[in-house]
Structure 1
Amino acid sequence: MNCRAATTGRLLAGALVLLLAACSSGPERPKPKPLEPITAPIAGRQVWTERIGDVGFPLSVAVNAGVFTVAGSDGTVAAVQADTGKTLWRTSVDGRIVAGVGSDGRFAAVVTREGDLVVLDGGKPAWRKPIGTKVVTAPLVAGERVFVLGVDRRVLAYDVLDGRQLWSLQRPGEALTLAQGGVVAAFKDTLLVGQGPRLAGIDPLRGSVRWEVPVASPRGANEVERLADLVAPVLRLGDTVCMRAFQSAVGCVNAERGNLLWSRVIGGTEGVAGNEQVIVGADASDRLTAWRTASGEVAWTSERLMYRSVSSPLAVGPTVVFVDGEGTVHWMSLDKGEPVLRLSTDSSGAAAAPVASGNTLLVVTRNGGLHAFRPE
């Protein structure tokens, strides 16, 4: 049982009670492994900082044409120039935000606690509409549409210009679902959506299912242990899309043909990152594993960040970047998993997976700090 999921509030109310009860009788999570000194073979520095307000939801930072679009729980949404930190626009929606941000560079979309989908056009309110389902996954803005994934696995499509609902797709699902960002992404002319442990390819114009493939085979004695929803972020490498199934597996799918390339059983709750050679992710104990992208064979493992509550990673050049629960940013080599650079933020931990635009890497913390770094 992964008790870390309970402490970060990843299950909806009914399931959360079950998971907390199970964890209360289990052993406490070990203390974070001390960080070993490193002689950094690469240099790096923090180039700018800003603030957005506390982030208490599974934030997704949108990256478009050199701009980061971010949001805070209090309703603030902002677009920030990646290389300088200059705020291009900043606004507040009427309500606290529980899901976001989706953006295509012009339109930005968030969902409020009251259940409204709010769309901004260049930072100015365009429209808002109640959607009738609980949402924790950032909307996807693509192809003049806004796609929303509900925790009940319902998929909704809206016209980005006027808010007209275009279609709705409801799939059968398990009784319990995660309060953690799920998978909704674009692949050529197909919408990719996580439906429990399955990845579905959907026609974005009609809302019909083109193909569906299981990434994991859930196992366990109860519904909590069998929970295996696909979680964001996903990694796209050409026609290949790789992802994590919550506490169950890591796998890669050919999204052009709709077939599973490989899947490896492993615990863990966060997304994966990598390149054409290796895919990297952390398990429930924060042990890092790299799988060969082509075959899924293990390339290396590392225990250097054990029990440090690391974020989803980001591959940057020859390195993979994690942010731990103390807000420390770790650059590790992709070929061996060795530490090559370590820098600090505000110590509150990551609110989102790190993202990059050009050579600028952004870390957003739970206290609302925007910390931009540039390796040299």
Structure 2
Amino acid sequence: MSPSKLMPLAMLAGRVIIRRFAGIADAVSQYRQYILLLTSSFLLSGCAGMIDMARDVASSLADIDISGVTEMFVGKAPELSPEQLAQLEVIPPARSLWKAGVEEGQAAVFLPVFENGTVYVASTDGLLVRFNATTGKASGVIDTKHKLSGGVGTGEGLLLVGTFKGEVLAFDEKSGNRLWKAQVSTEVLSPPHAANGMVVIRTGDGRIFSLEASSGKRKWIYQGATPSLTVRSFAGVLISDDTVYAGFAGGKLVAINSLTGSVSWEAAVARPKGASELERIADITSLPVMDEQQVCAVAYQGRVACFEITTGTQIWAQDVSSNAGLAMDNHYLYVSENKGALVAYDKKDGTRIWTQSLLDGIRLSPPLVRDARIIVGDSLGYVNLIRNDNGAIVARSLTDEGAIVTRPVPLPDGFAVQTLKGGIYAFSTESMAVPPLLPGQSSSILRSPQSQFLCALLPFCTP
């Protein structure tokens, strides 16, 4: 693909990954080469013959100022209407518990993890930091001596991170000592996951590796067919009993036997459609969710769908587009849509229960279910607490204005988020004050006479 074609695609697609970028070096200056390769490796995954080149470029990302490419994660700054701004400004803040920070993320997205009273946080500069989950005080630092690209994963007594060079590093959770290092095919963009004596890793080229938790020795590899144009994914895998669930490019959800690496079943969450490659992108870029009967996933430019766990038979599906993700509780399935709406579906049959559209235009993180609240971060650096029964936003707090693109992490008395600027913020699930019903807050759920009466008292509320 020529540079003249590659650059418009990269600018247009933003979060899209193109798998062919040969010939760039002869077409642009050294500076433009490096930036374009940076963009390509950041947004676009390389074909098999280019993996080593992409790996070498990615390994130097921590030395480059990439502030100009933040849009790749969060899109352009949203243009909110005066009505939206007025409604958002009167929402009370959530109660802050503590805040801390690590190095600003560079070309990588990190997910904090809570384990045994501690919050573990990673950063591109190679540090793995422990914070007391109650006070936020740092209680230890592990210098991995590598430039990190994904983490933090836990399980089997391990702390797990990945690097731009395709290395998986395992540390003892208690002592912090490194136990082993394993090599996979290319950069590790999501937290490795450990369970049932194994560590499962998803790599930037779409492969899934299973390693022995005790030694890092390879057990099996899964690789499916990958389209030439895909959305950049920081999703890992979901492990339940003896099955690994993962979504892939092209809208495919796969259940893999964790012991053998063989496919138990695969199902189509969405099917590519459209005239151009961009229109045909229908990738699953987030973690599936599940309960005792079903596993559900959502695709970009596709659908949200739920399937029977053992057979993969589809139970229901609804058209939607999301590259952020979804969450599930006892009654509903919650989806962070691309346009900024949070939607609740009845998880039994897919009936839409409510839609919270006050955040339209703002990119949302994957949702977290916490008690009676749904928590989403957003591209403006806010955390939003939303009622699970009617979709009303009950609290909204600003962090450091760095985008929040990963799922909030549950804590015993609240939750925590990590921003792209490296800020670590912990909040309670309670707001500082009891908010009024706000315009657009309850959307389709406002149907009772009591709700309509209260809504009529507010200046912008439409019953």
- For normalisation by structure 1, the TM-score amounts to 0.88
Q: Which of 175-184 and 118-127 deviates more?
A: 175-184
Q: Which residue of 2 aligns with 1:151?
A: 204
Q: 1:343 pairs with 393, 397, 418, which one?
A: 397
| Aligned-partner SS, 1:78 | strand
| Aligned-partner SS, 1:177 | strand
AA at the equivalent of 2:308: N
Q: Which residue of 2 aligns with 1:282?
A: 336
The alignment-based identity, stated in percent, is 27
Judged with a 3 Å threshold, the aligned counterparts in structure 2 of structure 1 residues 14 and 362 are, in CA distance, closer, same or farther, namely: farther
Question: Which whole-Å CA distance do the structure 1 matches of 2:384 and 2:78 have between them?
Answer: 20
Judged with a 3 Å threshold, the aligned counterparts in structure 2 of structure 1 residues 93 and 29 are, in CA distance, closer, same or farther, namely: closer
Q: Which residue of 2 aligns with 1:97?
A: 148
Question: Which whole-Å CA distance do the structure 2 matches of 1:5 and 1:312 have between them?
Answer: 23
Question: Which whole-Å CA distance do the structure 1 matches of 2:162 and 2:184 have between them?
Answer: 9
Q: Which residue of 1 aligns with 2:192?
A: 139
Q: Which of 95-104 and 63-72 deviates more?
A: 63-72
In the TM superposition, residue 30 of structure 1 has moved relative to its aligned partner by 5.3
Q: Which of 65-74 and 196-205 deviates more?
A: 65-74
Question: Which whole-Å CA distance do the structure 1 matches of 2:138 and 2:77 have between them?
Answer: 40
Question: Which whole-Å CA distance do the structure 2 matches of 1:12 and 1:63 have between them?
Answer: 35
Judged with a 3 Å threshold, the aligned counterparts in structure 2 of structure 1 residues 81 and 29 are, in CA distance, closer, same or farther, namely: closer
Asked if 2 retains the 8 angstrom alpha-carbon contact of 1:95 and 1:114, the reply is no
| Aligned-partner SS, 1:230 | coil
In the TM superposition, residue 4 of structure 1 has moved relative to its aligned partner by 10
Asked if 1 retains the 8 angstrom alpha-carbon contact of 2:192 and 2:199, the reply is yes
AA at the equivalent of 2:246: V
AA at the equivalent of 2:148: I
Which whole-Å deviations, capped at 9, do the CAs of 1:289-340 have from their partners, x for residues lacking one? 2211111111122220011222121122222112122211111112221111
Figure out how many residues of one structure are paired with residues of the other and give that number.
Answer: 366
In the TM superposition, residue 236 of structure 1 has moved relative to its aligned partner by 2.7
Asked if 1 retains the 8 angstrom alpha-carbon contact of 2:303 and 2:319, the reply is yes
Higher fraction of helix: 2
Question: Which whole-Å CA distance do the structure 1 matches of 2:310 and 2:140 have between them?
Answer: 37
Q: Which residue of 1 aligns with 2:65?
A: none
Judged with a 3 Å threshold, the aligned counterparts in structure 2 of structure 1 residues 73 and 10 are, in CA distance, closer, same or farther, namely: farther
Question: Which whole-Å CA distance do the structure 2 matches of 1:371 and 1:212 have between them?
Answer: 38
Judged with a 3 Å threshold, the aligned counterparts in structure 2 of structure 1 residues 288 and 170 are, in CA distance, closer, same or farther, namely: closer
Asked if 2 retains the 8 angstrom alpha-carbon contact of 1:109 and 1:119, the reply is yes
Within 5 Å, which residues of 2 pair with 1:108-257?
Answer: 108-122=159-173, 123-196=176-249, 197-257=251-311
In the TM superposition, residue 52 of structure 1 has moved relative to its aligned partner by 2.0
Q: Which residue of 2 aligns with 1:75?
A: 126
Within 5 Å, which residues of 2 pair with 1:33-112?
Answer: 33=81, 34-35=84-85, 36=87, 44-56=94-106, 57-104=108-155, 106-112=157-163
Question: Which whole-Å CA distance do the structure 1 matches of 2:133 and 2:290 have between them?
Answer: 22
For the aligned residue pairs, the C-alpha RMSD in angstroms reads 2.8
Q: Which residue of 1 aligns with 2:17?
A: 11
Judged with a 3 Å threshold, the aligned counterparts in structure 2 of structure 1 residues 169 and 93 are, in CA distance, closer, same or farther, namely: same
Q: 2:381 pairs with 306, 310, 327, which one?
A: 327
Within 5 Å, which residues of 2 pair with 1:265-276?
Answer: 265-276=319-330
Question: Which whole-Å CA distance do the structure 1 matches of 2:300 and 2:101 have between them?
Answer: 30
Which whole-Å deviations, capped at 9, do the CAs of 1:58-86 have from their partners, x for residues lacking one? 32333334433221111111233322324
Structure with the larger RCO, 1 or 2 (CA within 8 Å, 6+ apart): 1
AA at the equivalent of 2:316: W
Judged with a 3 Å threshold, the aligned counterparts in structure 2 of structure 1 residues 271 and 39 are, in CA distance, closer, same or farther, namely: same
Question: Which whole-Å CA distance do the structure 1 matches of 2:293 and 2:119 have between them?
Answer: 26
AA at the equivalent of 2:287: P
AA at the equivalent of 1:290: A
Judged with a 3 Å threshold, the aligned counterparts in structure 2 of structure 1 residues 225 and 138 are, in CA distance, closer, same or farther, namely: farther
In the TM superposition, residue 165 of structure 1 has moved relative to its aligned partner by 0.9
AA at the equivalent of 1:220: G
5+ residue gaps, structure 1: none
In the TM superposition, residue 29 of structure 1 has moved relative to its aligned partner by 7.3
Judged with a 3 Å threshold, the aligned counterparts in structure 2 of structure 1 residues 239 and 101 are, in CA distance, closer, same or farther, namely: farther
Question: Which whole-Å CA distance do the structure 2 matches of 1:30 and 1:120 have between them?
Answer: 40
Asked if 2 retains the 8 angstrom alpha-carbon contact of 1:291 and 1:299, the reply is yes
Which whole-Å deviations, capped at 9, do the CAs of 1:170-219 have from their partners, x for residues lacking one? 22222233322134111122111223322211111111111111111221
Question: Which whole-Å CA distance do the structure 2 matches of 1:318 and 1:187 have between them?
Answer: 25
Within 5 Å, which residues of 2 pair with 1:14-29?
Answer: 14=20
Higher fraction of strand: 1
In the TM superposition, residue 128 of structure 1 has moved relative to its aligned partner by 1.3
Question: Which whole-Å CA distance do the structure 2 matches of 1:69 and 1:253 have between them?
Answer: 33
Judged with a 3 Å threshold, the aligned counterparts in structure 2 of structure 1 residues 64 and 30 are, in CA distance, closer, same or farther, namely: closer
Judged with a 3 Å threshold, the aligned counterparts in structure 2 of structure 1 residues 220 and 65 are, in CA distance, closer, same or farther, namely: farther
Asked if 2 retains the 8 angstrom alpha-carbon contact of 1:47 and 1:372, the reply is yes
In the TM superposition, residue 270 of structure 1 has moved relative to its aligned partner by 0.6
5+ residue gaps, structure 2: 1-8, 22-38, 45-70, 431-463
AA at the equivalent of 2:420: R
AA at the equivalent of 2:97: V
| Aligned-partner SS, 1:167 | strand
AA at the equivalent of 1:261: I
In the TM superposition, residue 244 of structure 1 has moved relative to its aligned partner by 1.9
| Aligned-partner SS, 2:285 | strand
Asked if 2 retains the 8 angstrom alpha-carbon contact of 1:183 and 1:233, the reply is yes
